[in-house]
Chain A
Amino acid sequence: MSPRDLPRDGPELTGKALHARLEKTWGRAPGLWGWLSTVDHKEIGVRYIVTAFVFQALGGLMALLIRAQLATPESGLIDPDRYNQIFTMHGTTMMFLFAVPVMEAMAVFLIPLMLGTRNIAFPRLNAFSYWVYLAGGILLWVAFVLDVGPDAGWFSYVPLAGPEFSPGKRIDVWAQMVTFTEIAALAVAVEITATILKQRAPGMTLARMPLFAWAMLVVSLMVILSMPAVTLASSFLLSDRLVGTQFFNSYEYGDSLLWQHLFWFFGHPEVYIIFLPAAGFVSEIVQTFSRRPAFGYTAIVLAFAGTGLLSFGLWVHHMFATGLPRLGYAFYTAASMTIAIPAGVQIFCWIATMWDGRPKFHTPLLYVVGFVIVFVVGGLTGVMLASVPIDLQLHDTYFVVAHFHYVLIGGAVFPLLGAVTYWFPKFTGRMMSETVGKWNFWLTFVGFELAFAPMHWLGILGMPRRVYTYPAGLGWEISNMLSTIGAFVLAGGVLLFVLNALVSMRRGKVAGPNPWDAPGLEWATSSPPASYNHAHIPVVTGRVPLWENREALPVVHGLRVDDRELLLTTVIDARPDLREPSAEPSIWPLVAALATATMFVSSMFTPWAALVGAVPVAAALIAWFWPKDPNVHPEPVID
């Protein structure tokens, strides 16, 4: 059978018949087996998002406990040991198990749809990534429940987290959890990079790519460059603790500052890894709801890239109090200031889009407005902290806590909530309630401000971080009480959001393919999309395809319908290049993830586990990569 005889989509095969055949090819087996072995990016993306939100809830619970303890001075509510575990769990869960995974998860779901392709690159790796992430999260939380939760802060400074001063397995759990989540994040980053560079729809040149895709491209490259640093650091820590190496032992020519350098070399890009996808969300939302293409597309893309590059040169600003040479510090002050320029450019462009467009203030755009109001405050307090003398007073105080919650909640969570509301019809086929959404936004916004604004004042008044209690009489009582009240209001807002989502999933207004009249390609699919995404691969002629082609979207024909096939295009100009098979559902990613998890967890207890555990991992990987039937029709060239 020659390639020409294979069944392909085209003028002869379209509509319902095409849908049936594509469903058959791209669908998965029903039931538990199918659920466990799926490689559909949408299913895995939703799973990832839901799991990340569960971790957010758990992390938020930890935050409420912290605030309950700190509402009054000398509160005996929580003992110091548990408190230290609680605040460590809060930070660790939010940063490693919620913030980065949820952004990557949104990308996993949205990017293939936005780019007009059928699945993400390396679909089985995608599945593997989710199971590894889940395993890491379970490891951490089961440990916490068993009183083995880490208690040295989310960044686990040595020597406190080292073998002598953190007895037991608590920090080993933390370090190994980092390994899990970094593998998961790296895997997704690799997939997204490959998808964005090679799987865009024909005609979607890099200059026409959605801004969210640009953000994710930059973010994925940042992940690939920064995650190895933290994996290295946590491996060194595990090695010091379990095997007796001296990486961080200053008495044997190691250095405790090495940990800080390695960790923050990852840690600083990490916060931009969290922020840039949110900037991508904002770009998409602002565009849709202002009803004009984003202003300053090129400027925004350059700002993304600039942020990504600059973020690797800032990390020492977390270490201004450690006594390193002042001349070196000056460089990091300058770099930390400079990164405000791309941020300022983006803010201008987004507001300009609204200014020049005809904005409709639905809930997603409300979240964008809230984002601007809150994030810019955080950015400006960041500029303050970039100055060494100011930082020497405010480092490790509640001022810093205020700063990073402003940029993280304002800069990432608000856009995320807006994005979930915006793309909800794509996830579920229904709209979230607009009325509840508006109430929700205001509750969240007010709660946030009440919770975190007083913390600026607390920091200036001398309250250090990570204290399980504080004495009365220092002027900290009122601010702490206000902050606690705000935290509970904020929690109410988040709860309301979740309720809105859950109820709307069942009883929300049913949505068509494009309820917001948005321009992106993802809105050309049904809501929720079929397993194969687009029936025909669309062709793109501009930045806002659905606005430029309101009547009918041009498409290409010719992809096979009896087997999973993707269209690869060239990197810059997106000319059709290759047909590429896409992986079938497989149980091996789950098996490999289980084997990997077993190996990692048991290597916390004995080094032999690394050797013994490698065998099942190798077996699973061999099964996974077992070559398919080589008798596939070779078709390298598109005719």
Chain B
Amino acid sequence: MSSPFRAEAIMLALLALAGCHRETRDYRSDAMKAAERGAAFEDNAFHIAQGQRLYAWMNCAGCHAHGGGGMGPPLMDDEWRYGGRMEQIAATILDGRPNGMPSFRRRVTEDQAWQLAAFVRALSAQPRQDALPGRADEPRNTEPMTLDERKPIRPVTAKSDDASEE
């Protein structure tokens, strides 16, 4: 390959790494280890979008609003009471948590819980910028997620614990 084409080939290869994962639509994910599953769902635009639908259908907004929180804690900030990694969020959804988070194990399938987890992470702009969903077609007064700044995940400290009691 002459040199201009070599450069193109490298560019294409890099693009391939960037493009493929985000855009794959996997409708039937088979059993995978938890951490691997997290990775499969995390930066995938399709799964985040499905999670967005499920968020509406399962009425998560009933307690969490559109991420701003209400009866339940906000989901778009950087505080994670029970952990902010994919498998932790999925566990929160499936098993429920103390202080009022119900268990959805018998309400959603595991795959759906992972999709919801991916969406929840998207609420605080954790996934890659180009996989984040845009606004939904509904009345909204929150900032679109593509414009969110990434918030780092950090463990809950005593100080931030007080701050969250609002």
Contact = CB atoms under 8 A, between A and B. Distances in A.
A243 B144 contact: yes
B25 interface: yes
Query: Is chain A's interface secondary structure helix, strand, loop, or mixed overall?
Result: loop
Given A146-B20, A244-B147, A167 B135 contact: no
B49 A606 contact: no
Contact of A142 (B12, B24, B52, B136): B12
B53 to A, nearest CB: 8
A553 B91 CA distance: 87
Interface in A156-181: 159, 162-165, 167-170
Given A146-B15, A606-B129, A159 B137 contact: yes
B113 interface: no
B1 to A, nearest CB: 17
B165 interface: no
A164 B19 contact: no
Contacts of A168: 22-23, 45-46, 49, 131
Contacts of A162: 134, 137
Interface string B127-166: 0011101111111100110110000000000000000000
Given A146-B19, A169-B22, A164 B46 contact: no
Contact of A240 (B24, B131, B134, B147): B134
B48 A167 contact: yes
A148 B22 CA distance: 9
Contacts of B143: 244
B4 to A, nearest CB: 10
Contacts of A170: 23
B16 interface: yes
Contacts of B136: 163-164
Q: Report, as a range, how many residues of chain A touch the other chain.
A: 20 to 34
B19 A143 contact: yes
Interface in B117-133: 129-131, 133
A244 B144 CA distance: 5
Contacts of A159: 137
Nearest to A252: B139
Nearest to B142: A244
Contact of A167 (B129, B133, B137, B139): B133
A241 B146 CA distance: 9
A246 B139 CA distance: 10
Contacts of A241: 134
Contacts of B25: 81
Contacts of B139: 251-252
Interface in A240-266: 240-244, 246, 249-252
A605 interface: yes
A266 to B, nearest CB: 23
Contacts, number: 79
Contacts of B19: 143, 146-148, 169
Nearest to B139: A251
Contacts of B134: 162-164, 240-242, 244
A39 to B, nearest CB: 22
Contact of B138 (A142, A148, A167, A251): A251
A421 B155 CA distance: 72
A181 to B, nearest CB: 21
B112 to A, nearest CB: 16
Given A146-B20, A146-B23, A606-B129, A163 B135 contact: yes
Interface string B7-34: 0000010011001101111000000000
A164 B137 CA distance: 6
Contacts of B133: 163-164, 167
A146 B11 CA distance: 12
Contacts of A165: 49, 137
Interface string A581-623: 0000000000000000000000001110000000000000000
Contacts of B49: 164-165, 167-168
Contacts of B12: 142
A146 B16 contact: yes
B146 to A, nearest CB: 6
A607 B143 CA distance: 15
B151 to A, nearest CB: 17
Interface string A118-151: 0000000000000000000000001100111000
A499 B139 CA distance: 57
B135 A249 contact: yes
A159 B134 CA distance: 12
A147 B137 contact: no
Nearest to B46: A167
Contacts of B24: 147
Nearest to B143: A244
A251 B135 CA distance: 12
A240 B45 contact: no
A282 to B, nearest CB: 40
A143 B45 CA distance: 15
A271 B45 CA distance: 35
Given A148-B22, A244-B135, 9 more contacts: A146-B15, A146-B16, A147-B23, A147-B24, A164-B135, A169-B130, A240-B134, A244-B134, A605-B130
Interface of A: 81, 142-143, 146-148, 159, 162-165, 167-170, 240-244, 246, 249-252, 605-607
26 contacts: A142-B15, A146-B20, A147-B24, A159-B137, A162-B137, A163-B135, A163-B136, A163-B144, A164-B52, A164-B137, A165-B49, A167-B46, A167-B49, A168-B22, A168-B45, A168-B49, A168-B131, A169-B130, A242-B146, A243-B146, A244-B144, A249-B135, A250-B137, A251-B137, A605-B130, A606-B129
Interface of B: 12, 15-16, 19-20, 22-25, 45-46, 48-49, 52, 129-131, 133-140, 143-144, 146-147
| The 3 residue pairs across chains A and B that have the minimum distance between CB atoms | A163-B134, A244-B144, A167-B49
